[in-house]
A = this chain, B = another copy of it.
Amino acid sequence: METVTQPESLPRAVRRRARAEITAEIVEVARRHLSTVGAAGLSLRAVARELGMASSAVYRYVASRDDLLTLLIIDSFDALGAWAEDAERPVPRERTTDRWLAICHGVRDWALAHPYEYALIYGSPVPGYVAPPTTVGPATRVTALLSGVLADLPAAPASASDGAAPDVTATGGAGDGWRAALGPTREFMPAGLSDDVLIQGLMAWMLLFGSVSFELFGHLHQVIDDDPELRRAFFTEEATRIGALVGVPAGAA
């Protein structure tokens, strides 16, 4: 009766599930610790202590401190991506401006609610830590959302038509090296997009995260009013203008 490739015995499956649950609990506690102590101060022992287990026991679930960091990074990228997706989902597909704003605000709201996780993924690299390739997938979820909106724009996205600056395309003497630099981006983007669209898109992406980082890391202190409502209004205006850089119409859709 036993087939040759019996898939997995039941007790083994139970154990595996338990493993996964405890690993999740470890990551969860680590995430909380991150919020008080930062990435560099994160300690396996402290996590174990809070979970009431011997520090050595954690090594059954996590290979090393760096491994735990990796789990946290993936988790954070995923949480941010999911949050932004949730923010966009209820908006009807044709309301591209509102979708764009929803995504931008989604990123900012998540960052404000999870400042240390945001700093973990968009702040200074942890010295001595190298992110493994496992982390790149989750990192692209927001990018995918943003370019999804651009793909749904009615007219030719950006280029000479709307808000974007068209006459800048030809560089002032510096040459065309920047076009070659776009190589890796072109791999991941739908074919046929002009260099101009690509670089404007990248700049919009960097400006979005640059703005959120500046706000979160305190560089808007004594620059933009501290009042949360005003900050939000300022960001809305910013996000609108960022959208305009890539052809998202500014007026209400």
Residues of A within 8 A of B (CB): 36-41, 97, 116, 119-120, 122-128, 131, 136, 162-165, 167-168, 171-178, 180-185, 188, 199-200, 202-203, 206-207, 209-211, 213-214, 217-219, 222-225, 227, 229-234, 236-238, 240-242, 244-245, 250-252
Given contacts A125-B217, A174-B236, contact A207 B207 (CB under 8 A): yes
Once the chains bind, are B233 and A165 in contact (CB under 8 Å)? Answer: no
Copies of this chain held together in the complex = 2
Closest to A249 in B: B172
How far apart are A245's CB and chain B's nearest CB, in angstroms? Answer: 7
On chain B, the residues within 8 Å of A184 by CB distance are 222-225
Given contacts A177-B230, A225-B184, A234-B181, contact A206 B199 (CB under 8 A): no
Beyond A127-B38, A172-B251, A241-B165, is A185–B233 a contact (Cβ under 8 Å)?
no
Given contacts A177-B234, A210-B209, A241-B203, contact A182 B127 (CB under 8 A): no
Chain B residues with CB below 8 A from A123, complex form? 123-124, 217
